Amino acid sequence: MDMNTLIKSGEMERTLEQPASIRDFASIMRSETVQTISPQCEMYRFASSRFSTDAETRDYYFETGFELANNLCEFLKEVGTNPYQEDLLDYAAGYGRVTRYFVPVFKSVTAADIAEDMITFHSQTLGIEGWISPPDPAGLRARTDRYDVVFVFSLFTHLPRDTWSKWLAAIFSMVKENGYLVFSTHSYELFELIAPGKFDAKHKRDFVFWEANETEGRLPTSAYGCNIVTEKFVRKELSRLKTAEFIRRYRKGEFDRYHDIYIARKKCESARQNIAQTQLSGESSMLNKLFSLFSKMRSG
Ligand SMILES: C[S@@+](CC[C@H](N)C(=O)[O-])C[C@H]1O[C@@H](n2cnc3c(N)ncnc32)[C@H](O)[C@@H]1O
């Protein structure tokens, strides 16, 4: 029985085996990760159209999944957070290209996506829990403040402008206080490489959407197409969420090979309330002092 199976069977406490360094996380992910790929996986099928052999496709599929999970662990370590103590949600997880690498190193991993088959794959093959995401962002409000880390790779890259902000707010609501939302976007820099000249600087807008996707008809291109966004756009959208703090942007090549990655932290509402309360009581005691000074002056 491997370590992961032991932990899942409840015979061993995960916290007993905490890795000491990021190198340990990487080696645990490399050795403990399930290698089964669903024949329905669109990420695998898309990759196979780009490579000439199965071996190259598999290598790309596993390496890119590993790189994302490993870079997330590096980020968490950098901010003093230990994945072994964190509950992670992989939202829009697909068939678990990345999710599988989180499983051996996070306290708990949950997968969400819109297709039941994907959730069945997660429970039967990766041994983790999952839920089917609702068709409307408002449906996520029932899961407010649930996860320490919510990871969303390649969902915001597909949404049209009219639903982008709603999904951002709803997905962010699932992050616990002091937790992190980590999500990917497409940049102009990426599309200058893929389609040189097509998105000429003159036509740059903060958000460009067009109808095309890889799902071969599973999802409508009007609701799930392709977009490009600027950092200005992402920052503005985050600033509209009153508890979101922009932490950083990783440009393509720094965290993922192609996508940009944005990280936002959920500010602690109670701390904000305490500060506001302290300021308020400070202000009211100052007013009281002024009032009594004024009364003394009048009576004197
Ligand atoms: C490009 S795939 C990425 C899968 C996975 N994150 C990965 O990187 O391998 C995007 C996924 O988003 C899912 N999706 C689309 N709209 C969604 C929504 N509103 N809520 C949750 N998942 C959604 C799709 O079913 C698909 O599995």
Query: Which tops the pLDDT comparison, 117 or 277?
Result: 117
Mean pLDDT of the 116-143 span? 97
pLDDT above 90 for 283: no
**Domain 3-278 bears CATH identifier 3.30.70.980:** no
Q: Residue 261: how many CB atoms within 10 A of its CB?
A: 23
Q: What is the DSSP string of 2-53?
A: -HHHHHHTTSS-GGGG--SSHHHHHHHHHHH------TT-HHHHHHHTT-SS
Integer CA distances (angstroms), 91 to 5, 16, 151, 162, 195, in order? 24, 28, 6, 20, 29
Task: Work out the percent of the chain whose per-residue pLDDT is above 70.
Answer: 81
Nearest CA-CA partner of 111 in 134, 93, 137? 93
Over its C-alpha atoms, the chain yields an Rg (Å, rounded) of: 23
Mean pLDDT of the 25-47 span? 96
Q: Which residues, at least 6 apart from 80, have a Cβ–Cβ distance to it below 8 Å?
A: none
pLDDT above 60 for 83: yes
* Least confident stretch, 19-23, 47-51, 127-131, 255-259: 19-23
| Span 99-110, pLDDT tens digits | 999 999 999 999
Under the banding of pLDDT at 50, 70 and 90, the label for residue 297 is: low
Mean pLDDT of the 278-289 span? 57
Asked if 174 and 146 count as a contact pair (C-beta separation under 8 A), the reply is yes
Q: Which of 155, 157, 257 to mutate to test the pocket of ligand 1 (most atoms within 8 A of CB)?
A: 155
Query: For residue 273, what pLDDT is reported?
Result: 62
Mean pLDDT of the 242-264 span? 98
- What tokens were used for 233? 């756009």
Alpha helices in 150-230 (DSSP H): 161-173, 188-194
pLDDT above 60 for 16: no
Query: For residue 7, what pLDDT is reported?
Result: 44
- What tokens were used for 54? 């199965």
Query: For residue 200, what pLDDT is reported?
Result: 74
Nearest CA-CA partner of 226 in 256, 201, 259? 259
Establish whether residue 133 lines the binding site of ligand 1, counting it when its CB lies within 6 angstroms of any ligand atom.
Answer: yes
Under the banding of pLDDT at 50, 70 and 90, the label for residue 269 is: confident
Establish whether residue 113 lines the binding site of ligand 1, counting it when its CB lies within 6 angstroms of any ligand atom.
Answer: yes
Asked if 132 and 113 count as a contact pair (C-beta separation under 8 A), the reply is yes
Task: Work out the percent of the chain whose per-residue pLDDT is above 90.
Answer: 75
Mean pLDDT of the 252-277 span? 85
Alpha helices in the chain (DSSP H): 3-8, 22-32, 42-48, 54-78, 99-102, 116-121, 161-173, 188-194, 231-239, 269-299
Query: Which tops the pLDDT comparison, 73 or 277?
Result: 73
pLDDT above 70 for 244: yes
Establish whether residue 94 lines the binding site of ligand 1, counting it when its CB lies within 6 angstroms of any ligand atom.
Answer: yes
Under the banding of pLDDT at 50, 70 and 90, the label for residue 43 is: very high
| Residue with CA at minimum distance from ligand 1 atom 26 | 94
- What tokens were used for 73? 């662990």
Identify the three-state secondary structure at position 128.
coil
pLDDT above 70 for 22: no
Query: Which tops the pLDDT comparison, 201 or 197?
Result: 197
Query: For residue 3, what pLDDT is reported?
Result: 41
- Residue 179 CA to ligand 1 centre (angstroms): 22
Establish whether residue 155 lines the binding site of ligand 1, counting it when its CB lies within 6 angstroms of any ligand atom.
Answer: yes
| Residue with CA at minimum distance from ligand 1 atom 13 | 92
Mean pLDDT of the 8-23 span? 54
pLDDT above 80 for 234: yes
Q: In DSSP terms, which residues pair with 263 in a beta bridge?
A: 182, 248
Establish whether residue 96 lines the binding site of ligand 1, counting it when its CB lies within 6 angstroms of any ligand atom.
Answer: no
- What tokens were used for 180? 């992190």
Establish whether residue 174 lines the binding site of ligand 1, counting it when its CB lies within 6 angstroms of any ligand atom.
Answer: no
| Residue with CA at minimum distance from ligand 1 atom 8 | 153
Under the banding of pLDDT at 50, 70 and 90, the label for residue 6 is: very low
Establish whether residue 109 lines the binding site of ligand 1, counting it when its CB lies within 6 angstroms of any ligand atom.
Answer: no
Asked if 171 and 150 count as a contact pair (C-beta separation under 8 A), the reply is yes
Establish whether residue 223 lines the binding site of ligand 1, counting it when its CB lies within 6 angstroms of any ligand atom.
Answer: no
Backbone angles phi, psi at 173, to 5 degrees: -65, -20
Identify the three-state secondary structure at position 275.
helix
Query: Which tops the pLDDT comparison, 3 or 95?
Result: 95
pLDDT above 70 for 285: no
Which pTM value belongs to this model? 0.86
Establish whether residue 260 lines the binding site of ligand 1, counting it when its CB lies within 6 angstroms of any ligand atom.
Answer: no
* Least confident stretch, 124-128, 194-198, 227-231: 194-198
- Residue 186 CA to ligand 1 centre (angstroms): 15
Establish whether residue 224 lines the binding site of ligand 1, counting it when its CB lies within 6 angstroms of any ligand atom.
Answer: yes
Establish whether residue 241 lines the binding site of ligand 1, counting it when its CB lies within 6 angstroms of any ligand atom.
Answer: no
- Residue 269 CA to ligand 1 centre (angstroms): 30
